[in-house]
A and B are shown apart, each in its own frame.
Chain A
């Protein structure tokens, strides 16, 4: 029988993505064995994370002081890449290939989960486009049913307001072999062919 405080921590930890009950148990017992300073530092870090980070008021990317580092960067181009979550920004930034700015939707349209356009930051995106601060829009939502439908929705509302809207290309991975491509990927790759 586990003690109440231990059980509580295990339950909290096992809510984290990718953490099952067993891993949560190991973590909890590990923390218990560490000096008090470890637990203090960890809990401080957690609180700092919640208090110190707020959404960027322009693009909803993570920021420390209201406007994120990308929006603050004057050398960025006017093209805006629309992504589902802030960690998608981090993924694209890691590649260093994109010189524009971002717009984080904070999710995708999903009627089953009761999420419509109004629950996302799409209204703010429309304002950004209307204000003229945005050039071309590239939609980089995931290739799921909801991600694709959201991309379709955004393109319709933005095109109606005169924006040029693009969808990121999808198809074969670089270095990939045709032999292993599934039918859906192959169809997409052929559809998105480019002239040489």
Chain B
């Protein structure tokens, strides 16, 4: 199956379970070799088949790049411009995107992990080698936790892994603090525009290491100190009790923590503003704006807020959006419309616009 996308807005509509989300997941797979829902790309293989290929061509600064993920149930291969690359780190991050799905609303009230993932994904878009740092940290953490569970462990071995933990963990915290302040630069204005209310949003990275100066050496020594403090607890519980895997992002509205006290509407506006801030900052730093994927958000957001949200997306951003039903409120002059039905995708722009000439005038109106 092959689809030619519009450089601005692409709307995929159809009833549930027809394959709309799979399509966005396939596109995301081209960015990081994974799926945005945390599910594995293997889940995208059609039930009766054993292999699948996701193939995409994108253009950045006038240069076309072809990306391919080939996979079956056990092996995953990455290809760039017809050449196989052997490590996902040499593949990931070429195609940048920001995803906004109904699940993203959990950023405002869900587990800290949801907010850490939000930060990590953004940092990865700006700096693909962050993947390597994150991967290293995860592995050290597993090794160190295992060691803490062993009653007869060698203290010098523990010190060696602690050293590695601090090394990669401090880098992660440093990157997260920097990314948070990058978001903070533009999030208040975006939030006012989305919510239509005169409230001030504030993002602050909250680490168990206190308030470090933005300096790697300071972070490392604080990290060591903290581990020293919690040492006996770590022995008792057999687990690493300080580090970026226990941090959180504080979201405050007029000084009030919305993770605990926000209303439904306030939380939604905050997440929308944070997503727009991510889009803005990645677009500013990368050569090209990222692709924005909006998965089924109309089912979760009220129409007024959503129309404001869409009007805030710059024209230069390519948007892939799924909807359960066609709704011309979200349309733009330059767009393509695709009908998705039982895994088949058909471009119906021409047919639909002919039947409904109001579509164009409507979208020009806003």
Docked pose: A182 CA to B131 CA in angstroms = 10
Which residues of the partner chain A approach B161 to less than 8 Å between Cβ atoms?
A: 111, 149
A152 and chain B: residue at smallest CB distance: B160
Docked pose: A148 CA to B139 CA in angstroms = 12
Docked pose: A157 CA to B156 CA in angstroms = 8
Which residues of the partner chain A approach B136 to less than 8 Å between Cβ atoms?
A: 145, 184
B127 within 8 A of A: yes
> Which residues from 222 to 253 on chain B have a C-beta closer than 8 Å to any C-beta of chain A?
none
Contacts A111-B147, A112-B146, A145-B143 known; A184 to B129 CB distance under 8 Å?
Answer: yes
Taking the closest CB of chain A, its distance from the CB of B92, in whole angstroms, is 11
Instruction: Specify the main secondary structure of chain A where it touches its partner.
Output: helix
Which residues of the partner chain B approach A117 to less than 8 Å between Cβ atoms?
A: 154, 156-157
Docked pose: A156 CA to B159 CA in angstroms = 9
Docked pose: A152 CA to B163 CA in angstroms = 8
A150 and chain B: residue at smallest CB distance: B160
> Which residues from 123 to 151 on chain B have a C-beta closer than 8 Å to any C-beta of chain A?
127-130, 132-133, 136, 139-140, 142-144, 146-147, 150
Taking the closest CB of chain A, its distance from the CB of B50, in whole angstroms, is 13
Do the beta carbons of A183 and B142 come within 8 Å of each other? no
Do the beta carbons of A109 and B164 come within 8 Å of each other? no
B94 within 8 A of A: no
A157 and chain B: residue at smallest CB distance: B156
Contact mask B311-353 → A, CB, 8 Å, 1/0? 0000000000000000000000000000000000000000000
A148 and chain B: residue at smallest CB distance: B164
Cβ-neighbour of A145 out of B140, B146, B156 (below 8 A): B140
Cβ-neighbour of A149 out of B128, B142, B150, B160 (below 8 A): B160
B70 within 8 A of A: no
B135 and chain A: residue at smallest CB distance: A145
Do the beta carbons of B143 and A110 come within 8 Å of each other? yes
Which residues of the partner chain B approach A148 to less than 8 Å between Cβ atoms?
A: 164
Do the beta carbons of A183 and B157 come within 8 Å of each other? no
B89 within 8 A of A: yes
> Which residues from 78 to 107 on chain B have a C-beta closer than 8 Å to any C-beta of chain A?
89
A66 within 8 A of B: no
Taking the closest CB of chain A, its distance from the CB of B142, in whole angstroms, is 6
Do the beta carbons of B89 and A182 come within 8 Å of each other? yes
Do the beta carbons of A153 and B157 come within 8 Å of each other? yes
A123 within 8 A of B: no
Which residues of the partner chain A approach B89 to less than 8 Å between Cβ atoms?
A: 182
Contacts A157-B156, A182-B89 known; A149 to B143 CB distance under 8 Å?
Answer: yes
Docked pose: A109 CA to B129 CA in angstroms = 26
Which residues of the partner chain A approach B146 to less than 8 Å between Cβ atoms?
A: 111-112
Docked pose: A21 CA to B152 CA in angstroms = 41
Which residues of the partner chain B approach A157 to less than 8 Å between Cβ atoms?
A: 156
Of the listed residues B127, B132, B143, the one surrounded by the most CB atoms of chain A closer than 10 A to its CB is: B143
> Which residues from 131 to 153 on chain A have a C-beta closer than 8 Å to any C-beta of chain B?
145-146, 148-150, 152-153
Which residues of the partner chain B approach A153 to less than 8 Å between Cβ atoms?
A: 156-157, 159-160
A-B contact pairs, 11 of them (CB 8 A): A109-B160, A116-B157, A145-B143, A149-B143, A149-B160, A152-B159, A152-B160, A153-B156, A156-B156, A182-B129, A182-B132
- Interface residues of B, Cβ cutoff 8 Å to A: 89, 127-130, 132-133, 136, 139-140, 142-144, 146-147, 150, 153-154, 156-157, 159-161, 163-164, 171
* In the complex, the 8 A-B pairs of residues with the closest C-beta atoms, listed nearest first: A182-B129, A152-B160, A111-B146, A183-B129, A153-B160, A111-B147, A149-B160, A145-B139
